[in-house]
Amino acid sequence: MEFKLTEEQQDIVNAVREFAEKEFDIDYARECDQQHKKPVELFKKAADNGFICVHFPEEYGGQGLGWFENALIVETLCRVDSTLGTATFLPKFASELILLYGNEEQKNKYLPKVTSGEWISSGMFTEPNHGSDIATSDTTAVLKNGNLVINGTKTFITNGELAYFGTTLAQTQEGAKHRGQSMIIIDDLQNRNGVSITDVGLKFGIRSSSTCEIAFSDVEVPEENLLGEKNKGFYQAMNFFNESRIEIAAQALGIAECAFDKTLSYIRERKQFGVPIGSFQALQFRVADMAAKIDAAKLLVYRAAWKADYDKPDPVFTAMAKRFASRVAVEVADEAMQMHGGYGYMAEYDVERVYRDAKITEIYEGTSEVQRMVIANNIIGKL
């Protein structure tokens, strides 16, 4: 068992870090956070450098690599800066659904546009009245004259105001609950008749990422925009989450490392009583605990990614990685603020921003409670 990266993987990490350190200006990161700016140009630059969707096949513009390499890229981006790193990798969100379930025409239409950075994508699952319960959907899609007519509302939608296209989960068989849901592609989201997009407002963290509510009023799309098999959308979403949660776990890992790196720099430079505060044993013990937690999270994240590449995504491994890494991100960021003292509470030192960015990883793409349910149900089984 090898506990080290291959030469190619290390080269990827080095190239991504070099890119991020060049492109991620700290003042710009603060500006994006404070003014809720969406730095979409970073997504395009990352795509130009081949860092977007590296786990896609080469015929669709990817690198033909795996989820492991993708996780390394996300981790490294967020380690350099939690705010801009998140804004750089999230704009391709949910495009994997088309890779998983699209026909060749759909794959050739959408995926090269995403990998090139030309199109931003979105996944529309959560509803105002149901939250984590995506097995229940008030959004409907009814077939009329060869078109699917969609009505309903989705909320907390990543990339809502930026995406050219998105995939939405809708009820296509009345009364069948999750057994009657389908996944549907909606093109030209920003200009399509019947689509209303509203920013959800100022968020606690990841303010450089677009989050919206999207309402559909008699929105018509061609029947061929159905993604995969009809009435299998819920199961498609579950399989997608088994993969995408690896990416969020990697994001959390990178954010934890970002907070840790800032803390190490601070305690080596900050002096009290004539010596660097890093010489105080109380702080040294905290650093030791932070490092151990980060390394444990890294092993879980890397294992989940490895499993996805060499066999298939394992819901238990993925859920463990996502739940643990997200908790570590919050705990390490919290310790970072504490070890900075009063300065940690100030925007100038950035650790409060990292803390705010960390918290979302425990909530989106399945809350920590949902991850525990997945883990327990797979271990215990149905009683």
Task: Please report whether residue 113 resides in a domain.
Answer: no
Distances 249 to 297, 334, 361 between C-alpha atoms, Å: 9, 18, 8
Looking at the domain assignment, is residue 359 inside a domain?
A: yes
- Looking at the predicted structure, is the pLDDT value of residue 383 above 80? no
Per-residue pLDDT for 167 more than 80? yes
Which two structure tokens, joined as six digits, stand for 106?
């759909």
In a domain, 106, yes or no: no
What's the sign of the alpha-carbon dihedral 353, 323, 287, 24? negative
Q: For 273-282, what is each residue's pLDDT tens digit?
A: 999 999 999 9
One domain for residues 72 and 130: no
The residue out of 74, 91, 108 marking a domain boundary is 91
Calculate the alpha carbon distances from 341 to 113, 279, 349 in Å: 46, 16, 11
Question: Do 37 and 127 belong to one domain?
Answer: no
In a domain, 143, yes or no: yes
Q: Which CATH number belongs to the domain containing residue 208 in this structure? A: 2.40.110.10
Indicate whether 1 pLDDT > 80: no
| Mean pLDDT value across residues 145-162 | 96
pLDDT tens, residue by residue, 179-232: 999 999 999 999 999 999 999 999 999 999 999 999 999 999 999 999 999 999
Alpha-carbon distance of 160 to 214, in angstroms, equals 7
According to the model, what pLDDT value does residue 2 have? 80
Domain co-membership, 54 together with 152: no
Query: Final residue of a domain: which of 201, 232, 263?
Result: 232
* Residue 171: strand pairing partners: 140, 181
Same domain for 165 and 199? Answer: yes
The answer on 341 and 249 residing in a single domain is yes
3-class SS at 184? strand
Which ranges in the chain belong to alpha helices (H)?
A: 7-23, 26-35, 40-48, 67-80, 82-89, 96-101, 104-115, 233-269, 281-310, 315-339, 351-359, 368-380
> Do 286 and 355 fall within a single domain?
yes
**Chain position carrying tokens 């238990």:** 316
pLDDT in tens, 291-340: 999 999 999 999 999 999 999 999 999 999 999 999 999 999 999 999 99
Residues 269, 223, single domain; the answer is no
Task: Kindly give the pairing relationship between strand 195-199 and strand 165-171.
Answer: unpaired
The answer to which of 15-19, 124-128, 174-178 has the lowest mean pLDDT is: 174-178
Q: At what angle do helices 315-339 and 233-269 cross, to 10 degrees?
A: 30
User: Is 365 one of the catalytic residues?
Assistant: yes
Tell me: the pLDDT tens digits for 57-114?
Answer: 999 999 999 999 999 999 999 999 999 999 999 999 999 999 999 999 999 999 999 9
Residue 114 in any domain: the answer is: no
Radius of gyration over every alpha carbon of the chain, rounded to an integer in angstroms: 21
Task: Report yes or no on 105 lying in a domain.
Answer: no
Residues 275 and 352 in one domain: yes
Give the Cβ contact number of residue 64 at 10 Å. 12
In a domain, 109, yes or no: no
In a domain, 190, yes or no: yes
Q: What's the pLDDT at 132?
A: 87
By residue range, what is the domain housing residue 222?
121-232
* Confidence check: pLDDT of 372 > 80: yes
* CATH code: domain of residue 270: 1.20.140.10
* Residue 48 confidence (pLDDT): 97
Cβ pair 116, 295 in contact under 8 A: no
One domain for residues 243 and 222: no
Give the three-class secondary structure for 211: strand
Residue of 69, 127, 213, 365 with catalytic role: 365
Report the distance separating Cα 283 and Cα 291, nearest Å: 12
pLDDT score recorded for residue 131 = 87
Q: Of 210, 232, 254, which residue is a domain's last? A: 232
Residue 178 has pLDDT above 90, yes or no: yes
Q: Given pLDDT bands bounded at 50, 70 and 90, which one contains residue 22?
A: very high
Structure tokens, 282: 């109380």
* DSSP track, 97-164: HHHHH--HHHHHHHHHHHHTTS--EEEE---TTTTT-TTS---EEEEETTEEEEEEEEEEEETTTT-S
C-alpha distance from residue 240 to each of 44, 99, 277, 365 (Å): 24, 10, 45, 10
Quickly list DSSP for 2-36.
--S--HHHHHHHHHHHHHHHHH--HHHHHHHHHHT
Query: CATH code at 29?
Result: 1.10.540.10
* 247 & 362 share domain: yes
How many residues are listed for the chain in this entry?
383
Count of domains observed in the chain = 3
86 and 144 housed in the same domain: no
> Taking residues 221-244, what's their average pLDDT?
96
Tokens of 236: 């498609």
Looking at residue 381, its pLDDT comes to 84
pLDDT band at 373 (very low <50, low <70, confident <90, very high): very high
Are 260 and 207 found together in one domain?
no
- For residue 147, the model assigns a pLDDT of 96
